[in-house]
Amino acid sequence: MTSEPRTELAPVSASLKNRTILMSGGSRGIGLAIAKAAGALGANIVLLSKTADPHPSLEGTIHTAVEEINQAGGRGLAVVGDVRIDEDVQRAVAEAVATFGGIDIVVNNASAINLAKTEQVDMKRYDLMQDINVRGTFLLSKTALPHLRASQHAHILTLSPPLNLDPRWAGEHLAYTMAKYGMSMTTLGLAEELKDEGVGVNSLWPETLIDTAAIRNLPGGQKMIQGARDAQIVADAAMAILSSDPKNLSGNFFTDAQVLTLAGETDLEKYTLNPEVPLVEDIFL
């Protein structure tokens, strides 16, 4: 018989002072919003990302992200590397420990997406999603685990959806669904495996479409984001989770709005880009 999730959240304003976070990705978008929010709460943030050079159409690199983390009040460290490569992940863990003395929190943020139907998915893209989303999440969590066990405030937070077995989502984009659900299986398995070790393991997923540069750059993206919320809603939800006692918070598949409501936030309207446009619900919900 599996354990029941433990759900006891801290307020959004709680501190992460001197906690060290190791995050995959994070050079832009939701990951950067989470990293900056953690920096504002006093955290050290180590980013493992390939994005060392500017993208032709997307703003932000791992280096500009670290600058923004520092400006927010945190201490950032850039580790240029690939979450798919064992040695890069081991190096990121080693540099986090050498620089900040340990690792308290792992955020599995890096993810690849392709919403094509089965026949249209190139197998290189399939492998990319499996390698980044599933293997990368497993590898980063596994490699950091000895240091998490040594922490008094150990969390693993993965940006992945609830395990919704409605056939609709497998039928819509099978390859991507398998990759994202593989991330969620890591949450399910590690929460159970570590239930007596004081490590909180949870997933977080946006309830609605989130305004990011990647969405804006899609065909019709400027129109799409009218029904979106600002990435700060995911960041604030992540802060509520990561500030909480990990012994009392594990095994949950949260949405951002759910977390903030449980944490006592009553005004979610402030995150809405255009209150006159109905919000677009995210996939997998």
Residues known to be catalytic: 176
| Cβ neighbours of residue 89 closer than 8 Å, sequence gap 6 or more | 48, 81, 83, 136, 139, 140, 143
263: closest CA among 5, 7, 9, 6? 9
Tokens representing residue 147 in the block? 């240091």
b/e for 120-144, b at 16 or more Cβ within 10 A? ebeeebbebbbbbbbbbbbbbbebb
φ and ψ at 6, to 5 degrees?
Answer: -105, 125
255: closest CA among 130, 136, 164? 164
Q: Go through the chain and tell me how many residues it has.
A: 285
Tell me 176's DSSP state.
H
φ and ψ at 211, to 5 degrees?
Answer: -75, 110
